[in-house]
């Protein structure tokens, strides 16, 4: 069985992430989406919230599992015996950082862990979690970027929801 790990912060998951998840799930027998619990960053959503959003979004995808991890990605890969990492590439601006990370991970894993890149669907090429958060902060329309339940959580987080 060929498995892969798609790691990220997913703060929050967007349609761009979901597009990569669906496409990677078509290529691999099993895809583990791994939410990074990074103590150095202060994400808007807790790990549990980010995991739950991803679980809701992928509930119909039978070969997709959602987990969280801390520490080094390659240690997590080794512990799961999964040696392929999937990352999404939006624009050239992503390239340099992603290339560096993938080479570093290959080196650290003694050439065991390889990274494959899926280029973004054009309609999501401008989409990032940070821009979604900025729009949410000013109560903008998020319907093209994230599912309704994510938009709802963002509105609550920024105090734009009367139902809170």
Q: Judged by CB under 6 A, which of 31, 127, 136, 146 binds ligand ADP?
A: 127
Q: Which residue is nearest to ligand ADP (CB)?
A: 16
Q: For residues 87 and 115, is the Cβ–Cβ distance under 8 A?
A: yes
Residues numbered 2 to 41 that lie near ligand ADP (CB under 6 A) are 8-10, 14, 16-17, 20
Size of the site for ligand ADP (CB under 6 A): 16
* CA atoms of 86 and 102, how far apart (whole Å): 10
Name the residues annotated as catalytic.
17, 41, 90, 129
Sole window of 21-29, 103-111, 119-127, 133-141 interacting with ligand ADP (rule: CB under 6 A):
119-127
The sign of the CA dihedral 99, 31, 83, 78 is positive
**Residues sharing a CB contact under 8 Å with residue 98, sequence separation 6 or more, in sequence order:** 87, 89, 115, 117
Q: Judged by CB under 6 A, which of 120, 133, 142, 153 binds ligand ADP?
A: 120
132 in contact with ligand ADP (CB under 6 A): no
Q: For residues 26 and 44, is the Cβ–Cβ distance under 8 A?
A: no
124 in contact with ligand ADP (CB under 6 A): yes
Q: For residues 30 and 92, is the Cβ–Cβ distance under 8 A?
A: no
* Residues engaged in binding ligand ADP (CB under 6 A): 8-10, 14, 16-17, 20, 87-88, 90, 94, 120, 124, 127-129
């Amino acid at each position: 069985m060929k498995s892969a790990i798609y790691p990220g912060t997913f703060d929050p998951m967007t349609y761009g992430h979901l597009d990569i998840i669906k496409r990677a799930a078509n290529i691999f027998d099993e895809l583990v989406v791994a939410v990074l619990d990074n103590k150095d960053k202060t994400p808007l959503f807790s790990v549990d919230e980010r995991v739950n959003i991803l679980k809701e979004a992928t509930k119909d995808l039978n070969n997709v599992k959602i987990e969280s991890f801390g520490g080094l990605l390659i240690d997590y890969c080794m512990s799961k015996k999964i040696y392929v990492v999937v990352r999404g590439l939006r624009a050239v601006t992503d390239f340099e950082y992603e290339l560096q990370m993938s080479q570093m991970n290959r080196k650290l894993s003694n050439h065991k862990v390889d990274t494959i890149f899926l280029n973004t669907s054009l309609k999501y090429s401008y989409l990032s979690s940070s821009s979604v958060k900025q729009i949410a902060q000013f109560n903008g329309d998020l319907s093209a970027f994230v599912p309704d339940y994510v938009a709802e959580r963002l509105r609550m987080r920024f105090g734009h929801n009367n139902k809170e």
